[in-house]
Amino acid sequence: MQWLAAHAQDVRLAAAAAAARAAGMSYEDYVRTKNPFRGRRGVKPVYTMSIAWHPTKNDKPSREHMIAAADEVIRALGMTDRQCLMVAHTDTPHPHIHLIINRVSPINGKFANVGNDWLKLSAWALDYERRTGHILCFERMLNWEKRRGHREAKSEARQTNDNARGRYVRGKDTPRRDLDWWNAHRHLPDDAIRAARANRQSGELKDFQNAFAKAIVGLETRAATIDDKQIKKLQAEVARRQAKYLAKHNRPANRTQRAIHAIRRMADYITGRDFLENRHIKSLNKSITALEQRLERDRASVRSRYAKAWISLEKRHAAERERDERRIAERGRKDRGDAAITRARKQFNVRSDASTAAKLSPKIAAGKLSRHFRKYAKSKLAERLEGRRALARIVGNLSGKQTNVDDLRRESLVRPNENERDRNSAYSKKLGPTIATNLLSPSQSTAHTAAHRETEIVAEMSRVKESKADRQCRKRARPRGRTRRIE
């Protein structure tokens, strides 16, 4: 008992494997279709209780009587295939027997259901007291009368009120059988699910047709063997009596026989024999009519019952197909959502350790990565060249001469070349001493020219940037296409 309680899960796995082998299926397919491990795992493998007898009102039970009572209790609890240890005590004022029951089944490893055990034991105790004739608890009898009254009231309410009927809350009006079928087929593709549902519904329709044909055949067989025989027997009796009645009314040809016939007719009329005979014939005809009407009512009842069942079956099949389409659509939305989550996870820039990055970051081939780098480098090079060209255009506009992009350096903007410096000095000598005194010295002129050019370049570049930013941030006067206001 202790080993079985400790290895309940192992026994359950072995039972599932044996069932899969017997069904000719693989272990994975059997578990997926039959779901033998549904329900939570049991935690209390031992169930204990005791049965005690009254010390004075009950007779002292024998060993066999105590064992028989314990067997009845085990049968009432539904644990006849479980291991049980019985310990009886007869050295106390009230004899009693202890039951230590192993809830784990040695066949499939499942735990016995002990829910509402107090109701089962109460029903057994009431029946035991009635059988022995010693009623020790009258309150128990009153409680069971109340329970029966409540059950009858609920049963009547379920027949008339739809809201009083029990519903499977988890599946939202979904039968448990249909939910188990969906759990067994939800891993299949959409077309495979529809085909499996069509096969199941066609099988149910065939079973329904076979049941209807079997009921009709049984009814006709009973009519041929019982009702038709009775009808034929009654018809033969009616024909015999009618022939006898008509024979008595035929007048014979001989005068003497006619006289005797007249006397007999008079006697039958006085005694009421003709009336009784006619009434008996009518009664036989009514019996024949009643048998024929009952046979027709039975046929109509069978057809009506199966017609209602057919309509109910068609409605259930339509609801199942609609439910499958809704589940398939929900599964498609879930799959699309999972795919979107996977894409977002792959595109996410992982900032974590190497193991997390290896699991979440997308795996890019070396060639693809180098192509991305080359494309990025080309775009950056184009932006750099475009900036240098813009700078060359500004320098050319300010200096009045063509400037090469490759020879352009920032130092050429800050320090003028030697030729330009010589031209400035020669120009100042040509003007004379008076005018030359008003001009700046060569070093001062060079510094002033460089600073002025630098200021102009910076101003022009800032103007270009502001113009570009203004073009980017400028709002359209008239929107292109239809727009929607978001509130």
In a domain, 375, yes or no: no
Residues 10 and 118 in one domain: yes
Q: What is the pLDDT of residue 436?
A: 38
Q: Does 390 fall in a domain?
A: no
Distance CA 371, CA 348 (A): 20
Residue 146, domain member (yes or no): no
Q: Tens of pLDDT along 319-369?
A: 899 989 988 888 888 777 777 777 776 665 544 455 655 555 555 555 555
pLDDT at 23 over 90: no
pLDDT higher than threshold 50 for residue 412? no
- Identify whether residues 216 and 336 lie together within a single domain: yes
Domain boundary among 135, 170, 188: 135
* Domain housing 204: 200-344
Residue 351 lies in a domain: no
86-105: average pLDDT: 91
Q: Report pLDDT for 357.
A: 54
pLDDT class of 438 with cuts at 50, 70, 90: very low
Q: Is residue 226 part of a domain?
A: yes
Number of domains forming the structure of the chain = 3
| pLDDT for 40 | 79
pLDDT tops 60 at residue 304: yes
Contact 11, 4 (CB under 8 A): yes
Q: State the pLDDT at residue 410.
A: 46
The answer to whether 34 touches 19, Cβ cutoff 8 Å, is yes
Domain boundary among 135, 150, 169: 135
Region 206-216 average pLDDT: 88
**Digit-coded pLDDT (tens) for 116-149:** 999 999 999 999 988 888 888 888 888 988 988 8
pTM of the model: 0.38
